[in-house]
Amino acid sequence: MKSKSVREMSALERKQHSLQAKTFRGMLMNCIFLGLGLLITGLGLYSYSLTKQYISHAFNMTRVAAQSANRGTDTALLASSIMGKYRSLTDEQRELIGTDEYRAFYEDEQSSEMYDILIHMLPQYCRSEEIADLYIGMYDEGTRSLVYIADPDTVDRRYPGDWEPIADKELNRFLNWDGKGMLYDIDNTEAYGWMCTVGYPVHDPDGNVAYFVLADLTIDNIWAGMKVYVIQITVVLLAVMAIMLFRILNRIKKTLVTPLNQIADAAEAYTADKKNGVRETDHFSKLNIRTGDEIEDLYLTMADMEKDMTGYIDNLASVTAEKERISTELSVATRIQAAMLPHIFPAFPDRPEFDIYATMDPAKEVGGDFYDYFLIDNDHLCMVMADVSGKGVPAALFMMASKIILANYAKMGKSPAEILTITNDAICANNKEEMFVTVWIGILEISTGKLIASNAGHEYPVLKQGDAFEIYKDRHGMVIGYEAGMTYTDYEIQLKPGDKIFLYTDGVPEATDHDENLFGMDRMIQALNKTPDAIPEQILKHVRKSVDEFVNEAEQFDDLTMLCFEYRSPSRS
């Protein structure tokens, strides 16, 4: 769909399509994306830092609790007793977890004084809201499980010997800890969702891990700690973006939008003045834009353009008038050139002995090709086909001079070779532009059919003496205008009733299509032989149609000139 011009737009449409509106939308989107990027990046960094902080706090807590448990009670003995019974149970017995029968296996440990001390000691260290549970447990590599030793949780307490399956990643990390850094694992569990387990191992006198003091951190607790940060950072980012957006838009409006609108208004006023015939204007020079950048350069350029445009318009009017004058003169020249060539057909209606027809289509307004035919006397007909070097007006002037000289010498009773020789000397005597012309000339004795011809560098004639047209390869002489003193040779053709001769310039075989293919001599002969018995006029029209179909819509680069002559019996009427 065609877009509207500025004049066709309403005020609202102009505002929507304005640079300021587009800049605002673009800046707003960029600020939103920038803000989201900063928020996500900040949130990620903050969550990472906060998580590390919680893990560090939990790790320190488990380490302190482990030291207290190791000093205050013989926790390692309790853990060894529970793990011994756990490993002695069968798989079917372990599946009884949570039942009274299963808890009866660990009744002695649960009723022991050491267990009671741990249950009351551990809650004293678990005073952080971020920590969901602080307990003692041991990992069993054989069953890939975590076995609880003491869990003081009042909501979801796990009793001695209770167990739960553990991922291999957590099991290997805790059992193979090298003592460097903090010991923790984050995993997505079925029971609690995302959970971070932090622990500290306690070793027995032999150096083996006896148990772990463990603390659980839930992601919900971490998110709860981030809520305030998210709100604060969002408010700050919105405020900063609003200030940035306001300042940038105000700057753009002052240094870009307003000056461009002033230049656009000046251009519209300038156009209106020129349409109304106002010659002198100063719409741009009075704007006084001082931005110190390309906008100011544009304003200065437009001001200079406005000053120079008046002169340009005057020159354009003068050039247009001169072009129209030249076009008119070329049109007159075209008509004059066409009038100089024989153009009335039938050419000799009172002479039944022969028929002749010719056409000339110049590539430009005027051309350099020409043909001619005229009676020298009652029994001799002269025919000429010629092609001047170059195109346009120079070729047309040279063509007219050559035509007149050839005709004058032909009417003096000279032979074709003598006519070419004298014409060549006359043209070479005053040919500073070094132009030349190819000429085929023939003089027919009408009563006998004897044709005397001579060729000065022109295309081969095509003869029909029988059923078909064929190329007649005559002897060529040098082109007319190349060098004075050249001589030419006559040759004779005996024509019989029904014979035809076809003359042409190189514009016919060298006609070119869009793919740079030439029409060529073969196609020309084929076109002639499609209707070899037709009258000369029909033959030329058929050849021209074949050329037009071949080149299609390709531009005509050369003059296209043809002549066809048919010799008939004097007895025909």
Task: Tell me what pLDDT residue 297 has.
Answer: 76
> pLDDT category, 457, cuts 50, 70, 90?
very high
265 pLDDT above the threshold of 70 = yes
- Which among 146, 237, 247, 249 has a CA at the least distance from the CA of 191? 146
Percentage with pLDDT > 70 across the chain: 84
Task: Tell me what pLDDT residue 336 has.
Answer: 61
Q: What is the DSSP string of 223-278?
A: HHHHHHHHHHHHHHHHHHHHHHHHHHHHHHIIIIIHHHHHHHHHHHHHHHHHHTT-
289 vs 504 pLDDT, higher one? 504
Instruction: Please calculate the CA angle 159-160-162 and round it to the nearest 5 degrees.
Output: 70
State the residue for tokens 């296996």: 105
- Model's pTM, two decimal places? 0.49
Task: Tell me what pLDDT residue 157 has.
Answer: 87
149 pLDDT above the threshold of 60 = yes
129 pLDDT above the threshold of 80 = no
The SS3 call for residue 398 is helix
Neighbours of 263 (CB within 10 A): 20
pLDDT tens digits, 372-414: 999 999 999 999 999 988 777 777 778 888 889 999 999 998 9
- List the beta bridge partners of residue 567: 354
> pLDDT category, 415, cuts 50, 70, 90?
very high
Distance CA 432, CA 527 (A): 40
Mean pLDDT of 205-210: 87
Distance CA 307, CA 282 (A): 8
Task: Tell me what pLDDT residue 367 has.
Answer: 67
Do 343-567 and 19-225 have the same topology in CATH? no
Task: Tell me what pLDDT residue 451 has.
Answer: 97
Mean pLDDT of 192-203: 86
Mean pLDDT of 267-278: 74
Mean pLDDT of 110-126: 86
Distance CA 145, CA 158 (A): 14
329 pLDDT above the threshold of 60 = no
Residue 133 Cα distances to 152, 215, 384, angstroms:
8, 6, 120
pLDDT tens digits, 225-262: 566 667 777 777 788 878 887 787 777 777 777 777 77
One-letter amino acid for residue 50 of the chain = L
Q: What are the boundaries of each domain within the chain?
A: 19-225, 279-340, 343-567
pLDDT tens digits, 425-441: 999 988 888 899 999 99
Do residues 267 and 274 lie in contact, with contact meaning Cβ atoms separated by under 8 Å? Answer: no
> pLDDT category, 488, cuts 50, 70, 90?
very high
Task: Tell me what pLDDT residue 6 has.
Answer: 58
Instruction: Please calculate the CA angle 131-135-137 and round it to the nearest 5 degrees.
Output: 135
Do residues 259 and 293 lie in contact, with contact meaning Cβ atoms separated by under 8 Å? Answer: no
Task: Tell me what pLDDT residue 1 has.
Answer: 42
Residue-averaged pLDDT of the chain:
83
User: Which structure tokens are listed for 465?
Assistant: 């003496």
Task: Tell me what pLDDT residue 317 has.
Answer: 60
Across 37-46, 72-81, 478-487, 506-515, least confident range: 37-46
Across 351-365, 386-400, 410-424, 504-518, least confident range: 386-400
Q: What is the DSSP string of 45-78?
A: HHHHHHHHHHHHHHHHHHHHHHHHHHHHS-HHHH
504 pLDDT above the threshold of 80 = yes
556 pLDDT above the threshold of 80 = no
Residues 6+ apart with CB under 8 A from 158: 135, 148, 151
Residue 534 Cα distances to 301, 407, 464, 467, 550, angstroms:
69, 29, 12, 12, 22
CATH superfamily name and code, 343-567: PPM-type phosphatase domain (3.60.40.10)
Task: Tell me what pLDDT residue 321 has.
Answer: 63
> pLDDT category, 193, cuts 50, 70, 90?
confident
Give the end-to-end CA distance of the chain in Å, rounded to a whole number. Answer: 68
> pLDDT category, 573, cuts 50, 70, 90?
very low
> pLDDT category, 16, cuts 50, 70, 90?
low
Mean pLDDT of 120-131: 77
CA atoms within 13 A on the CB side of 525: 14
334 pLDDT above the threshold of 60 = no
218 pLDDT above the threshold of 80 = no
Task: Tell me what pLDDT residue 126 has.
Answer: 73
CA atoms within 13 A on the CB side of 354: 30
- Could you write out the three-class secondary structure of 1-54? CCCCCCCCCCHHHHHHCCHHHHHHHHHHHHHHHHHHHHHHHHHHHHHHHHHHHH
Distance CA 259, CA 294 (A): 11
Residues 6+ apart with CB under 8 A from 157: 151
Task: Tell me what pLDDT residue 460 has.
Answer: 96
Task: Tell me what pLDDT residue 520 has.
Answer: 94
Task: Tell me what pLDDT residue 260 has.
Answer: 74
CATH superfamily name and code, 19-225: PAS domain (3.30.450.20)
Helices (H), 429-535: 520-528
State the residue for tokens 């909501």: 155
The dihedral formed by the CA atoms of 541, 542, 543 and 545, expressed in degrees to the nearest 10: 90
